[in-house]
Amino acid sequence: MSEATLLNKYVIRPIKHSDGELIATYYSTLSETTKVIFPGYPFTDEEAHRLAREEADHPGMMRYIVIDPLMAESTGQMIGTVWFWNWDCMIPWIGLMIADSYQGRGLGSRMMAHAINEARMKGKGGILLTTHKENIRGQTLYARYGFQIIGQDDRGEHLMILSF
């Protein structure tokens, strides 16, 4: 598994079994505007602890946590996450989510660059994602890294692929 890496002044590292509380605190800071982008997803303490318990070391999952070391420890210091599912397949799926006050400052771009590099190093053939048609910031980011729209999913979201 890859180790912690610097993303400018932030740290990105794989999720650990002990990250439940860290993720729960992060979820508690997210606005409705950010949460609504993930319809039906339970941003609860239980879900945060389940993620940490089940995703660390799961062969089908690869989740990274982004930390701001300058943030107060009482707020948990987690500012984002980028994750793959179907990580044991040739073309895994990716998701990204950044704390509201850190959005629009180039962090998503750095996280995507890191994730693409990890997928390439593991010999993947590409990356898939879906994004809401109105998520212009997300689409700008994905297009910048070479993702192309290849259709839509059954919720009407853009289906995009980056082929290596």
Ligand X SMILES: CC(C)(COP(=O)(O)OP(=O)(O)OC[C@H]1O[C@@H](n2cnc3c(N)ncnc32)[C@H](O)[C@@H]1OP(=O)(O)O)[C@@H](O)C(=O)NCCC(=O)NCCS
Give me the residues that bind ligand X (CB under 6 A), please.
Answer: 34, 37, 96-98, 103-109, 131, 135-138, 140-141, 144
Least Å distance, CB 52 to ligand X, is 20
Q: What is the smallest separation between the CB atom of 71 and ligand X, expressed in angstroms?
A: 16
Comparison of 123 and 155: residue with beta carbon closer to ligand X: 155
Smallest gap from Cβ 106 to ligand X, in A, equals 5
Rounded to 10 degrees, what is the CA torsion of 135, 141, 147, 149? 20
* Smallest distance from ligand X to CB 8, Å: 11
Nearer to ligand X, 37 or 91 (CB): 37
77 or 131: whose CB is closer to ligand X? 131
User: How many other β-carbons are positioned within 10 Å of the β-carbon of residue 2?
Assistant: 14
In the complex, what is the shortest distance from the CB of residue 105 to ligand X, in angstroms, rounded to a whole number?
Answer: 5
User: Which of residues 67 and 107 has its CB atom nearest to ligand X in the complex?
Assistant: 107
Q: Which residue is nearest to ligand X (CB)?
A: 108
The dihedral formed by the CA atoms of 69, 74, 79 and 81, expressed in degrees to the nearest 10 = 110
Pick the closer one to ligand X by CB: 25 or 34. Answer: 34
